[in-house]
Amino acid sequence: MKKSLLIGAAAVGVAAGAVAVRAGLRSGRRTETLPTPSPTEPVIEPGIDAQSFLDHLAEAVRIPTVVYAERERNDPADILAMHAFLRESYPLTHERCRVETVNDLSLLFTWEGTDADADPIVLMAHMDVVPVEPGTEDDWLVGAFEGKTVDGELWGRGTLDDKGPLIAVMEAVEHLASTGFTPERTVILAIGHDEEIGGAEGAANVAALLNERGVRPWFVIDEGGAVTDALPPLTTDPVALVKVAEKGYVDLELTATGEGGHSSFPPKQSTIGALAAAIQRLEAHPMPARIDVLRPFFAALAPRLDPRLRPILTNLGVTGPAVSRLLASKQETNVMMRTTTAVTMVSGGVKPNVLPQEASAVVNFRILPGDSIESVIEHVRNVVGDDIAVLPVGEMRGEPSRFSSTDSPAWKVLGTSIEETFPDAAVAPWILTGATDSRYYSDFAGDIYGFAPFTGEMDMLGAIHGTGERIRTSDAETAVSFFCRLIRNAQPDA
């Protein structure tokens, strides 16, 4: 799960409120009255052991499965310790499922269904976590790898991203197996070990193996969403954010070359100057914004929207330009509706009195669905001009995903499962600004979604990858129940 998803959701709300003040309220337009859903009781799977979930998650947090971009720093013993922990904690799951180790460290569980004609579902998670930023260790209320509960919250790196969902899935399968449940539709658990550094050795190989076997998932559920307590000023109701697409990724190196020489005899523009000018042009001319990508999100929230905002945010054919301009002016919301440009590395020169013959910069692009790596490269070359070389660099590279359906049987199963578990929440589709392991399934799977069954205020959910990552202990029962309901609702005869 990526922090920017939740920050962006909150920022959309703040910016949309400003749009209302500037545009909608002074128009005097009558607002449409829509029915607001009445609160109902959640559907909870009988017999869920919430304490088992909390105890097992705390134990999983204490296994420090930290991964670093420099793969030689990563200790496989930590991931193997997770394997042993899962075997010990979930014996029925290991008995009922075919369990395979892929590329030594990732896990693949296959719970065979009785209906061979029913396409399987894939539930994804990952065992690895990001490091705690050096120097911030003392900012945690409790140690990041202690797995302690304080004031109704279980703290620790990975509680949200992604050991919380992992343990909830495992608890759900173990519980269903203990009740004698046998799936008609095959259930596959794909558990990666290197998602936080791209998944190239984990999920990529798991997905390739399934594809080679001819497995065609009906749908895939990965990380990429959660339930916010509210999205003010859009709504004071809870909102279940569900990933339906995610951005792509490419790093481009810009290089300026020249003759170099002594600094006492400089040219009109040095290679560093040429590079700086190109960077300035690039930042001043970003890829176009597309407000239309937020249309499904606003439409899903329509019954819950503040009545003053509803006509503005559900009539983007008229209000779109004003909404787009305002959202583009805010860093947090600008990223949600365009391919972003971020200059992250600059190099050039070896001595103060020597003009470098070459200066270069690396620019990172997060690519909105509808754009592509090719269109980004074309845009950059047009903006920086012919004198600047533009080349893709690095192994981390991927096209943006397609949009998964919000009008399909798979979406209905997911939406129903969320509504049963979180009946007060509006279910809203969203674009993840980062990338997850589920991208490796895009060529052969059906709909691909992202959702984690945990609740929180925006600052709490925004602690992913940061200081103070934690979950509410009150979410334990519902988190496990959600995956039970999802598996049951996905069965052909459900």
Per the annotation, the verdict on 493 as an active-site residue is no
Q: Is the bond leading into 162 cis (omega within 30 degrees of zero)?
A: yes
Amino acid symbol at 404: S
Residue 102 CA to residue 127 CA, distance in Å, equals 14
d(CA 292, CA 137): 41
The catalytic residue among 128, 196, 201, 469 is: 128
Residue 128 bears catalytic tag: yes
Question: What SS3 string covers the chain?
Answer: CCHHHHHHHHHHHHHHHHHHHHHHHHHCCCCCCCCCCCCCCCCCCCCCCHHHHHHHHHHHHCCCCECCCCHHHCCHHHHHHHHHHHHHHCHHHHHHCEEEEECCCEEEEEECCCCCCCCCEEEEEECCECCCCCCCHHHCCCCCCCCCEECCEEECCCCCCCHHHHHHHHHHHHHHHHCCCCCCCCEEEEEECCHHHCCCCCHHHHHHHHHHCCCCCCEEEECCCEEECCECCCECCCEEEEEEEECEEEEEEEEEECCCEECCCCCCCCHHHHHHHHHHHHHHCCCCCCHHHHHHHHHHHHHHCCCCCHHHHCCHHHHHHHHHHHHHCCHHHHCCCCCEEEEEEEEECCCCCEECCEEEEEEEEEECECECHHHHHHHHHHHHCCCEEEEEEEEEEECCCCCCCCCCHHHHHHHHHHHHHCCCCEEEEEEECCCCHHHHHCCCCCEEEECCCCEECHHHHCCCCCCCCEEEHHHHHHHHHHHHHHHHHCCCCC
Residues 6+ apart with CB under 8 A from 218: 118, 119, 120, 121, 185, 410, 446, 447, 490
Write out the two tokens for 207. 């997905």
Residue entry with tokens 């980062």: 434
The CA–CA distances, whole Å, from 456 to 238, 239, 300, 462, 473 equal: 9, 10, 20, 9, 11
Residues 195, 246, 419, 475: which is the catalytic one? Answer: 195
Rounded CA separation 439/402 (Å):
10
Residue from 116, 117, 130, 103 nearest 190 by CA: 103
Catalytic site positions: 128, 195
